[in-house]
């Protein structure tokens, strides 16, 4: 028996036979061109390939009719239509005096270098999108009209597809033809392959090195999507074990479906509010289907990556996007909250498609995690913050929009944003004869730094709600980069300092009657949920895929028992000033 591991991205356990989806390797010629006429012809070839690729994506969108895939394909199409991308490639052709294919290789290398240094995992995962788009252009340049329909069996029941890195259209087709699971050699938890696989409900394990060479055609394979594990040619004992797990998982899904109509409350009747963290417009539907009471976190920088070029500079485009989201968030004709975090970028979170001629995002900093990021960046460059605030204030007439400020560490930051909001409302009322008031939209802050946590009583009177960003809070409290393999084992959310800080945040917010949620990974950690509940947290904001699991767990917990548990923990490790 052969055991392999990868990244678990879509839950589910399945047993099936292997079908290897081999993609033809594209040869990329490198030519040096000397005449201007030859270079002009290469630019023309590139433009024709671009037009063909855009049309191909449009046809795929019409054919597959899947909302999540449609958003991904539209993002790829917008990347192709981005004039800066075209200019960059044309400039490379002329500067390097090379053919279009080789220019694309150079462009890809430079773009990937920019993204690979990003601290944000989602941004790093966009390397897959760049590779997909450039691969599409290569196929157009080489007139490669082969398609997946010719290479994929019509029926894939009880088959687990193994591929290098399928495109969004290929992934949807794999699901439509009945595949029971998917294994890929590339990808990450934040790649579009992962996001789409979760949306399709297809058990998937990504980033399995050499999967295509190690797994043989038609051999029996167990795919454990919970743990990212694969077992090829399992013995009878292993097969029986996973057959039982598969049956148990199907029963679990059945029970979860019954949770939709049930109130979210603990075993002793304490009501809990479950919100969703979303990344796409399509995530709104998933959140509502899972019973979310609204959106607790929309990372707006992701919209800047997904929408059309110029989105960052275009108030109208942003307004239409936020309006579309706010309008979709209704339940029984009542608007549900849409919490939009303002642009959270910096040198560690670059935007691959900058607006206009700005190049600030390329400036390297010696310690970007402690540098110009979050609200610091927005107040340093208020033009883009004002565009976003104006769009959000306009869209607030169509739903319940809340504005969330990232990386707050002092009162002045909130006061300065309040001034900008007042300025924006004054301008909007004059321009549109509307009645937008400065207090129309709720304003909240992210508690991500110990500084903010320690001056909560000074900050809370200035805001309407708070959201705890537990990922950064743990990192800054322990001074540990969880992505650094050398020290990641010391990244411990159970550390007494972290527990104490979280307890103080939640207790202070409750004491001052300020709504408080946790929207980081701890909010969906089964081991940490009882602790948060015991601290007095009554609002969790998590990925839509985790909502039903958390609801099920909360229904089995007694808030009083959880409170006793946290009190005992704090007694053993008393908070500062309480010993």
Residues assigned a catalytic role: 192, 519
Closest-CA residue to 182 (of 170, 235, 250): 170
Closest-CA residue to 105 (of 165, 207, 40, 26): 26
Tokens of 444: 């909240």
Name the pairing type of β-strands 442-447 and 7-10: unpaired
Tokens of 438: 């400065």
150 Cβ partners below 8 Å, 6+ apart? none
Task: Report the SS3 class of residue 68.
Answer: helix
| CA angle (574 as vertex; 573, 578 as ends), nearest 5 | 170
The answer to whether residues 421 and 379 touch, using CB atoms and an 8 Å cutoff, is no
Name the pairing type of β-strands 204-206 and 7-10: antiparallel
| Interaxial angle between packed helices 67-81 and 36-64, expressed in degrees from 0 to 180 and rounded to the nearest 10 | 170
Tokens of 338: 């849409």
* Residue 268: other Cβ atoms inside 10 A: 11
Residue 111: DSSP 8-state:
H
Q: What is the 3-state secondary structure (H, E, C) of 429-490?
A: HHHHCCCCCCCCCEEEEEECCHHHHHCHHHHHHHCCEEEECHHHHHHHHHCCCCCCCCCHHH
53 Cβ partners below 8 Å, 6+ apart? 80, 133, 136, 137, 140
Euclidean distance between CA atoms 102 and 138, whole angstroms: 10
Euclidean distance between CA atoms 50 and 77, whole angstroms: 10
Q: Which long-range contacts (CB under 8 A, 24 or more apart) does 107-110 make?
A: 107/134, 108/134
Euclidean distance between CA atoms 522 and 501, whole angstroms: 14
Residue 159: φ, ψ to 5°: -120, 135
Closest-CA residue to 447 (of 410, 417, 478, 482): 410
Ranges assigned E (strand) in 27-142: none
Closest-CA residue to 291 (of 331, 255, 327): 331
DSSP class per residue in 205-241:
EE--TTHHHHSPTT-EEEEETTTTEEEES--HHHHHH
Q: Greatest CA span in the chain, whole angstroms?
A: 81
């Amino acid at each position: 028996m052969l055991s392999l591991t990868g990244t678990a991205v879509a839950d589910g356990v399945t047993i099936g036979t292997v079908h290897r989806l081999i993609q033809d390797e594209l040869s990329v010629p490198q030519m040096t061109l000397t005449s201007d006429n030859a270079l002009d012809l290469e630019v023309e070839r590139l433009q024709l390939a671009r037009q063909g690729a855009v049309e191909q994506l449009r046809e795929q969108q019409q054919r597959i009719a899947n909302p999540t895939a449609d958003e991904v394909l539209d993002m790829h199409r917008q990347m192709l239509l981005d004039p800066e991308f075209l200019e960059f490639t044309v400039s490379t052709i002329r500067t390097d005096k090379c053919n279009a294919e080789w220019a694309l290789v150079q462009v890809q290398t430079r773009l990937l270098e920019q993204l690979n240094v990003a601290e944000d995992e989602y941004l790093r995962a966009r390397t897959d999108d760049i590779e997909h788009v450039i691969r599409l252009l290569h196929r157009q340049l080489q007139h490669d009209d082969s398609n997946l329909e010719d290479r994929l069996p019509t029926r894939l029941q009880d088959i687990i597809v193994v591929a290098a890195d399928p495109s969004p259209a290929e992934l949807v087709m794999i699901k439509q033809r009945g595949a029971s699971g998917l294994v890929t050699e590339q990808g990450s938890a934040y790649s579009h392959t992962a996001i789409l696989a979760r949306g399709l409900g297809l058990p998937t394990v990504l980033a399995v090195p050499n999967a295509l060479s190690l797994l043989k055609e038609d051999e029996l394979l167990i795919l454990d999507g919970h743990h990212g594990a694969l077992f090829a040619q399992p013995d009878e004992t292993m097969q029986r074990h996973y057959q039982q797990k598969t049956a148990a998982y199907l029963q679990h899904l059945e029970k979860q479906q019954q949770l939709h109509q049930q109130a979210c409350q603990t075993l002793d009747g304490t009501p809990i509010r479950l919100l969703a963290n979303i990344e796409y417009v399509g995530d709104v539907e998933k959140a509502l289907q899972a019973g979310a009471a609204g959106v607790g976190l929309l990372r707006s920088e992701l919209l800047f990556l997904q929408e059309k070029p110029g989105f960052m500079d275009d108030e109208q485009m942003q307004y239409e996007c936020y309006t579309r989201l706010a309008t979709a968030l209704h339940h029984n004709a009542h608007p549900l909250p849409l919490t939009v975090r303002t642009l959270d970028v910096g040198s560690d979170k670059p935007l691959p498609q900058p607006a206009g001629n700005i190049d600030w995002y390329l400036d390297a900093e010696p310690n970007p995690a402690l540098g110009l990021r979050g609200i610091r960046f927005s107040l340093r460059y208020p033009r883009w913050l004002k565009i976003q605030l104006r769009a959000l204030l306009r869209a607030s007439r169509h739903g319940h929009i809340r504005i969330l400020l990232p990386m707050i560490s002092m009162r002045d930051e909130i006061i300065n944003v309040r001034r900008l909001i007042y300025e924006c409302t004054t301008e909007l009322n004059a321009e549109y004869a509307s009645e937008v008031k400065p207090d129309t939209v709720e304003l909240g802050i992210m508690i991500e730094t110990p500084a903010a946590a320690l001056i909560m009583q000074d900050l809370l009177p200035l805001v309407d709600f708070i959201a705890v960003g537990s990922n950064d809070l743990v990192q800054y409290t322990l001074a540990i980069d969880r992505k650094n393999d050398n020290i990641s084992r010391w990244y411990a959310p159970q550390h007494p300092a972290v527990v104490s800080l979280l307890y103080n945040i939640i207790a202070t917010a409750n004491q001052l009657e300020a709504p408080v949620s946790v929207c980081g990974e701890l909010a969906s950690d089964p081991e940490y949920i009882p602790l948060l509940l015991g601290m007095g947290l009554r609002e969790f904001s998590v990925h839509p895929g985790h909502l039903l699991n958390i609801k099920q767990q909360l229904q089995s917990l007694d808030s009083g028992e959880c409170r006793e548990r946290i009190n005992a923990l704090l007694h053993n490790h008393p908070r500062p000033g309480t010993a």
